Structure formats: C-alpha cells, structure tokens
Structure 1
Amino acid sequence: MPAKAKWAQLADYLRERIESGELAPGEKLPSTAQLKEEHAVSQTVVRQAILVLQMQGWVEGVHGVGVFVAERLPDGGRKS
C-alpha cells in the first residue's frame, strides 16, 4: 500500500490538533511558512492540506489575515 500523501498527513495532523482542543475554535493556525518549516514540506503541500480542511469545515480562511479554526466544527469534532 502506498504511503499517504504529505498534504494528507499534514491535514490529519492539524485535524487531530483541533479535535484534541490544542487548537481551539477561532484560533489562528500557524502561517504557511511556519508549517513548511515545521513539517519540511513545500508551500503547495501546506496549501492543499488547508484547502481540504476548509472544504471539510474544520478551518476558515480570511484573505490577507490567516486561517482560523472554524467556530462550528464538523460532526465528530471536539464539543465545547
């Protein structure tokens, strides 16, 4: 079985941090540059991971400001 794509691994990592409460609703995610450096991946990998999380409802992007944990998490997310 092939290894999971890097963007999928990063998306899983961020989703787990949200589910555990380490990243709370409304909290800003680390910048693209920080995620690139922390995980030794390209900007494309970071963008793909964030895009998937946005489509799933875990995060919301604010143009020119950053990406934030969604106030209302999808079913299965951490309950307040």
Structure 2
Amino acid sequence: MPAKAKWAQIADQIRDQIASGKLASGEKLPSTAQLKEEHGVSAGVVRQAILVLQMQGWVEGVHGVGVFVVDQLPNGPDKS
C-alpha cells in the first residue's frame, strides 16, 4: 500500500488534535509557516491539508486573520 500523502497526514494530525480537545473550539491553528516548518513541507502542502479540513467542516478560515477550529464539529470522528 502506498504511503499516505503528506497533506493527508497533516490533515489527519490536525483532525486528531481537534477531536482530542488539544485544539479547542474557536482556537486558532498554527500559521502556514509554522506548520510548514514543523512538517518539513511546502506551503502548498499545508494549504491543501487546511483546504480539506475546511471542506470537511473541521476548520474555517478568516481572511487576513487565520484558520480556526469551528464551534460545531462535524458528526463522527472522521468525516473524510
């Protein structure tokens, strides 16, 4: 089985942090630069992970401010 794409691994990690409460409702996610540095990937990979989480309803972006955990989490532990 092929290795999971880096963006998917990052999305899984953030989703797990939200589900476990490590990232609370309304909390701001680390910046793209911080996530890029932490995971050793390009900004595009981080943006793809965030985009997937936004489409799944885990986070929402506020232009010019950041990305935040939504108040109402999607049903189930993994909506992917």
TM-score by length of 2: 0.94
Q: After superposition, where does 1:25-64 map in structure 2 within 5 Å?
A: 25-64=25-64
Three-state SS of the structure 1 residue aligned to 2:76 is: coil
Cα distance in 2, alignment partners of residues 11 and 52 from structure 1: 7
Q: After superposition, where does 1:1-80 map in structure 2 within 5 Å?
A: 1-77=1-77
CA displacement at 1:76 relative to structure 2: 1.8
Cα distance in 2, alignment partners of residues 52 and 36 from structure 1: 16
Three-state SS of the structure 1 residue aligned to 2:45 is: helix
Three-state SS of the structure 1 residue aligned to 2:4 is: coil
Count of aligned pairs between the two proteins: 77
Taking only aligned residues, the RMSD between alpha carbons, in angstroms, comes to: 0.7
Which runs of 4 or more aligned residues in structure 1 lie more than 6 Å from their structure 2 counterparts after TM superposition? none
CA displacement at 1:51 relative to structure 2: 0.1
Cα distance in 1, alignment partners of residues 48 and 21 from structure 2: 23
Output one character per residue of 1:25-64: Cα deviation in whole Å (capped at 9) or x when no partner.
0000000000000111110100000000000000000000
Structure 2 gaps of 5+ residues are: none
